[in-house]
Amino acid sequence: MELQLLRLQLDDCQESRTHIEKVSEDKSNFIAILSHEVRTPMNGILSMVELLQRTRLDEEQNSYVDILQTSSNSLMSLVNNLLDMSKMEAGKMKLNKDPFDVINTVEDLTYALAPRAFEKGVGIHLNVHSDIPLFVMGDALKVRQIIMNLLQNAIKFTHKGNIKVSVFLLPPKFENRLTVKIAIEDTGIGISEEQLEHIFEVYSQLHLDKDNIYGGTGLGLSISKHLVELMDGEIQVKSMHGVGTEVSLTLHFEQYTDLPSIPFQTDILQGLRILLLDSNVESVNIISDMLTEWGAQVTTTSSMNERFFDELYHHAYDLTLIDLEMIDHEQWLKDRLKIQQQSIFLLAPLGQKVEGEFRDTFDTVITKPIRKIHMLNSILALQHSQR
């Protein structure tokens, strides 16, 4: 009798399991079909918005088009996130394994999103170590998706200060694999200890208020965690309410080539004397470390005053780097005449127009966030032209 009862219970359990699996599969199929049906007209809308932006529009019409584009992109992002969650729940999310450049991937994404930070008056900086190989084997699209989610969050919740994106190697955790750490630090609104406990839950929005000024579905972090774990990696969040947040990823890749990402000798700028004018402490530290790593001698200053020009008059610098925010344009056109023989690079935020007579006063313009390879190539080109 007991055996028969157990068999009946087992049959019921099996039937329930089959039913649950069928419901889950039906839900996944429904979301996949719905996502496809929504994305098709959404792509049409986005294409028409792009075409509309190329036509002559007045200021009011431009503002309407901008809202239309922002709303369309948000809806497309929501559809893609729902599809990803559906695939994960159904166990259908698969990894690709192709060669890709980790540093270029991170830098390209940072460049794409940096103007949003600059518009808010927030600095964004790249701190990329040079010992990462040129190519690794992994799923570039999923790495991009993770970093984009995290970087968009950092920009959304940071209203002053800085965002720093760091990439460096860790001692390998697995044999014949590389361990890369990617960290995104911000000086944003931060997260309380209580909120940290729920940070990776599906549909969890950490910063809710009556005005819903931040928006979002709460899917981004949950999806990022799933993707990181799918790649046998780890994701950690450290935060303090009102101070800022650091999200770090530890990812493991197969090495595709042992060529360094930035091929140079550590003494390639040996003996070069450089004066750096920048008031942003984070920026000064990163640029100074970068140049010192290549053998240059770096002197820093934080104000374009008489002392700055006195420094240029009395010391023979090979190159001066000046941040755009340090310059009064009209005054600079007069002051530049005093130092005509000096080689000067301008450091300007990506998207900032630098043109005309003002642009002609600089040997070159290096965009922020600074890519190491851009900085190095610009300095080497200057040295070559002076020979």
What phi and psi values does residue 209 have, to the nearest 5 degrees? -150, 170
Judged against a pLDDT cut of 80, whether residue 363 lies above it is answered with yes
Judged against a pLDDT cut of 50, whether residue 212 lies above it is answered with no
Instruction: Return the structure tokens found at 298.
Output: 């770096």
Buried b (16+ CB within 10 A) or exposed e, 199-213: bbeeebbbbeeeeee
Closest alpha carbon to 110 in 98, 127, 87: 127
Q: Based on the number of CB atoms within 10 Å of its own CB, is 248 exposed (0-12), middle (13-18) or buried (19 or more)?
A: middle
pLDDT computed for residue 309 by the predictor: 81
pLDDT computed for residue 233 by the predictor: 93
> C-alpha distances in angstroms, 85 versus 101, 120, 200, 342?
27, 31, 13, 56
Compute the distance between CA of residue 377 and CA of residue 324 in angstroms, rounded to an integer.
20
pLDDT tens string 228-275: 988 889 999 999 988 999 999 999 999 887 777 776 778 899 999 999
**Average pLDDT value for residue range 323-338:** 86
| Predicted confidence band of residue 217 (pLDDT cuts 50, 70, 90) | very low
Name which residue leads in pLDDT, 135 or 199.
135
Among 3-7, 45-49, 114-118, 157-161, the least confident range: 3-7
Share of the chain above pLDDT 70, in %: 79
Contacts 24+ apart (CB under 8 A), 34-37: 35/79, 35/80, 35/82, 35/83, 35/86
Cα angle vertex 168, ends 110, 224, to 5°?
A: 55
Mean pLDDT (the chain) is: 82
**Average pLDDT value for residue range 331-356:** 87
Name which residue leads in pLDDT, 128 or 41.
128
**Average pLDDT value for residue range 311-335:** 87
**Average pLDDT value for residue range 86-97:** 69
**Average pLDDT value for residue range 284-309:** 91
Report the predicted TM-score, pTM, of the whole model to 2 decimal places: 0.78
What is the DSSP track for 134-175? S-EEE-HHHHHHHHHHHHHHHHHT--SSEEEEEEEEE--SST
**Average pLDDT value for residue range 370-375:** 93
**Average pLDDT value for residue range 222-229:** 84
Q: Who's near 20: CB < 8 A, 6+ residues apart?
A: none
